Structure 1
Amino acid sequence: MVSVKTILNIIWLVLCGFWMFLGYLVAGVILCIFIITIPWGIASFRIGAYALWPFGRTIVSKPNAGTGSVIGNVIWIIFAGWWLALGHITTGIALCITIIGIPFGIANFKMVPIALVPLGKDIVPTSSLRAGQQPLIEL
């Protein structure tokens, strides 16, 4: 039997997931060209996989993230975060035009924070949340 998460992920993939994945892929490739930005390129690939198939997974804060994450996030915003967040906002607005697309538009809006500041966050299956651990984004 097919789960609701699988159906939502398939619809998401067709409507916007594939295109958002391509955006993250392009950002990752560009960031991997420069040696110093390889960690952000890897983060872009990780988030791209999340943007491709998000339902059933969530974003949580890393408990040991510190100053390095803050500095890294500033660099991320300069090189890639602003236009990836803009892509989520644009796609979210387009999806909200139809009634069927509204839940997927809202899901896109929920991905804006991770597009802007991805470092210091983990993508985990919703089933693996520990007791008392709060997700940052619930899809």
Structure 2
Amino acid sequence: MPAVSILLNILWLLCGGVWMAIGWVVAAIIMAITIIGLPWAKAALNIALYTLLPFGQKAVNRETLTGQPDIGTGPLGLIGNVVWLVLAGWWLALGHLITAIVLAITIIGIPFAWAHLKLAGIALWPIGKEIVPA
């Protein structure tokens, strides 16, 4: 990981990264408790790690990455994302959005606000995403 990414990730932790990663972990725990929510729990934990260190990584569609559809990128993935959106996605996206608005007030916080907005989009539709180095 380049030095700039390391520096940005350290600053990110102070600018809402830890707070939102905790939100993702809470969502994963709630999903895991239900047992049938285990696929969502796995996706939430992957994105919690991405939320902790977003600089130097990116989220891509798994079908684009592998070149072939799988269960998470097909019709079942669509249904899974709709269920996720209703149960947890909207409040995680709202948390990222509020954090982005607060950070965007300052000039220094604008890059971090932009990263929160990207994560808000992922919060709405996480199934079928893979985190890869940028």
Mapped pair 1:99 → 2:107: yes
Q: Which amino acid is 1:122 matched to?
A: E
Distance 1:91 1:53 in 2: 16
5+ long unaligned stretches in structure 1: 127-139
Q: Which amino acid is 1:74 matched to?
A: V
The equivalences for 1:1-139 within 5 A come to 3-63=3-63, 64=69, 65-126=73-134
> TM-score w.r.t. structure 1 length?
0.87
Distance 1:120 1:29 in 2: 20
Distance 1:20 1:112 in 2: 10
- Give the alignment's Cα RMSD to 1 decimal: 0.9
SS, match of residue 111 in structure 1? helix
Q: How many residues align?
A: 125
Distance 1:121 1:15 in 2: 24
Deviation at 1:13, TM superposition (A): 0.7
5+ long unaligned stretches in structure 2: 64-68
SS, match of residue 36 in structure 2? helix
Q: Which amino acid is 1:56 matched to?
A: G
Deviation at 1:15, TM superposition (A): 1.2
Distance 1:33 1:79 in 2: 14
Deviation at 1:24, TM superposition (A): 0.3
Pick the structure with more helix per residue: 2
Q: Which amino acid is 1:96 matched to?
A: A
SS, match of residue 131 in structure 2? strand
Aligned structure 1 segments of 4 or more residues deviating by more than 4 angstroms: none
Deviation at 1:11, TM superposition (A): 0.1
Deviation at 1:113, TM superposition (A): 1.3
Q: Which amino acid is 2:77 matched to?
A: S
Identity of aligned residues (%): 50
Distance 1:20 1:7 in 2: 19
